[in-house]
Amino acid sequence: MSLFHTLRTRFEKGFRSSTHWLGRIVLSEEFWDLPDPFWVRAEVTGDDLDRLGHVNNAVYLAWCEQVAWDHAEAVGAGWDVWKQLDRGMAVQSVRLDYEAAAYQNDELLLGNWIAKNDRRLRATRRFQIVRSSDQQTLLRGEVDYVCIELSTGRPRRFPQAFKEAYSVLPQVQAELDKRATGSGA
């Protein structure tokens, strides 16, 4: 069984809303860096740990990939659409900032947003992983993607479906614009 199949069976998808119930804890969106994330929930297992007893860095990257796939499926741009269009989004660069450790049995929320989309060739996703028990951010990341033709691996323009599915939400763009002008958090 592949790592990604194992990860998929351990995730529970989340919803966009102003408040989320998670067990006995009420989570507000105040802990998210940007509004209206697409998120999934995961629980840390022993298989996720490294020799230091905390989650291995490679697992965080796998979680980011999994929440990105779940989001792509949710917005109608999953693998079946990629195959049909002969287009896909290939990783160009990855930046992950590890801010705190996660340990066995921690319940985590893995959030992501489309943060840039040039509507031609490139898109950027932002990621945030939060421990639900104390709402502490454990990881912030950003991944740049380029649209490719699956059959050749060469860069190709976005099909219309990608322009729509990988669009930046207006409320996310407004927050990013506010921060870029120095008037936001």
Could you tell me which of 183, 164, 176 has the C-alpha nearest to residue 72?
164
How far is it, in rounded angstroms, from Cα 18 to Cα 1?
36
φ, ψ of residue 146 to 5 degrees: the values are -130, 140
φ, ψ of residue 143 to 5 degrees: the values are -130, 130
Global pTM reads 0.85
> What residues have CB less than 8 Å from 80, skipping those under 6 apart?
none
CATH number at 3-180: 3.10.129.10
- pLDDT tens per residue across all 185 residues of the chain: 333 333 333 444 544 433 333 443 445 568 999 999 999 999 999 999 999 999 999 999 999 999 999 999 999 999 999 999 999 999 999 999 999 999 999 999 999 999 999 999 999 999 999 999 999 999 999 999 999 999 999 999 999 999 999 999 999 999 999 999 987 65
